[in-house]
Amino acid sequence: MTKSNADDNNNPASAEDTGALLRGRFSEATDAFVEAFTASVNFDKRLYAQDIQGSLAHAHMLNKLGILNDHELKQISGGLQQIRQEIETGKFSWQVPLEDVHMNIESRLIALIGDTGKKLHTGRSRNDQVATDIRLYLRDAIDRLLQAETELLHAIIDLAEQHTQTIMPGFTHLQAAQPITFGHHLMAWYEMLLRDRERLSDCRKRVNKLPLGAAALAGTPYKPDRASVAAALGFDGICNNSLDAVSDRDFAIEFCAVAALTMTHMSRWCEELVLWSSQQFNFVELPDRFCTGSSIMPQKKNPDVPELIRGKTGRVNGHLMSLLTLMKSQPLAYNKDNQEDKEPLFDAVDTLQDCLTALCGLVPNIQANEDAMYQATLQGFTTATDLADYLVGKNVPFRDAHEMVGQAVQRAVEQGKPLEALSLQELNGPGNNIISEDVYQVLSLSGSVAARDHAGGTAPAQVRAAIEQARLNL
């Protein structure tokens, strides 16, 4: 909890005030433990700006309905703006006995402007208030995340563009499989993260709907103009059903699902960066400023940043599971369970944002060790499929070609040579002469990648086209 500088006169909110605002029907004060147990202000105070924004829009609506006169609207607006300032300058005294961000702000408003402050909550409940606040918060968070994702996509394209001809082994089962280009490999990550960005902006549509007006659960008798409140707050529309508006948190669950998937993609990529920056692969060099040393081993340069992104994926996946479980047994409409939605959601947002920031800094500074990539591609008989395809071109059925090449690979293994170092006779095997001199072009690494010259293939021309298209799309 933030320690406030404000003296008590400045903010007279106290447990007594909570009693005054909420406990009219009770005959005893809240148990001290229960008070702390049910409070959320320590984490939901993060929603103060959205809470004030929502209250201002609500007050304007009450003014249009004639519930607040112009003077009262001015008093409330002024009071809320002062509260925002107090919070932002650290002068606001947050009170746990006031339970949550909403009651803290409301009781401060009453303390500042008197009875007019008591009118603000007309036609509103904390149920539609908190749902509005979270949606406003998440929408703005999504906009920042979309920006970071776009930056990362640009960084990937920029790096891929430098490596449309850089040959490396493509892997299956982490075994060298076929030659590819590093640019092509990077563009695979581009595609995954592009889909993540699409999912995020699609999720935004369902986040950006207004709950206010639903009040506690059934609506209010004041006939609020919900559409104009929605427009004032930048929502694309209203939540159509008041019960649904206050109770469901599917938009937060959906966000966490999108975040978890994005983290999962980034984690896979980071796993590669960890492997590739090891001495065993030596495919890439990560910038020193993104690595850390060991407290005991002076030679170490550890890829902590990609390791942490990989590790933080676990907590975001966990938040998705928390929110699903939070929701699964709730009868309509609002239940206090929903107060537990905030910490997982906030942490999912923060974690995703931090990991995107880290990758945006890291990716442009990845140095490819082109020679090591090339040598590794030479090692693994990665053009064996090209040899089989060559035989198919000479009318050998693919299964027979597969068998012939398998035997050639065996001879190469025995002699400790790459395929292209075998003589024509060794490549053909006893009694065969189908393979002729033109095979050596086919067995070359650059010939192999250039041959995969179709949409989605690894040929440099195709990778360049994919990059060009990506630039247009972004």
Active site positions, annotated: 173, 294
Nearer CB in complex with ligand ARG: 46/464: 46
Cα-flanking dihedrals φ and ψ of residue 171, to 5°? -115, 145
Shortest CA distance to 186 belongs to which of 225, 216, 159?
A: 159
C-alpha to C-alpha distance for 305 and 233, rounded to whole angstroms? 38
DSSP classification of residue 97: G
The owner of tokens 């293994």 is 413
Q: Nearest distance from residue 60's CB to ligand ARG, in Å?
A: 22
Nearer CB in complex with ligand ARG: 44/196: 44
DSSP classification of residue 222: T
C-alpha to C-alpha distance for 125 and 215, rounded to whole angstroms? 5
368: which strand partners? 284
Q: Nearest distance from residue 134's CB to ligand ARG, in Å?
A: 8
Q: Nearest distance from residue 43's CB to ligand ARG, in Å?
A: 9
Q: In terms of DSSP H, where are the helices of 277-341?
A: 304-327
Asked whether 381 and 418 are in contact (CB, 8 A), the reply is yes
Q: Nearest distance from residue 224's CB to ligand ARG, in Å?
A: 19
Nearer CB in complex with ligand ARG: 35/389: 35
C-alpha to C-alpha distance for 82 and 76, rounded to whole angstroms? 10
Q: Tokens for 346? A: 């906030």
* No. of helices (H) and no. of strands (E), the chain: 20, 6
Would you tell me which residues interact with ligand ARG (CB under 6 A)?
A: 40, 44, 100, 126-127, 130, 334, 336, 338-339
Nearer CB in complex with ligand ARG: 41/470: 41
Asked whether 21 and 107 are in contact (CB, 8 A), the reply is yes
C-alpha to C-alpha distance for 193 and 8, rounded to whole angstroms? 51
Q: Nearest distance from residue 283's CB to ligand ARG, in Å?
A: 48
Type and span of the H or E element at 140: helix 126-162
Nearer CB in complex with ligand ARG: 44/347: 44
Cα-flanking dihedrals φ and ψ of residue 177, to 5°? -115, -65
Pairing of strands 175-181, 367-368: unpaired
Nearer CB in complex with ligand ARG: 98/376: 98
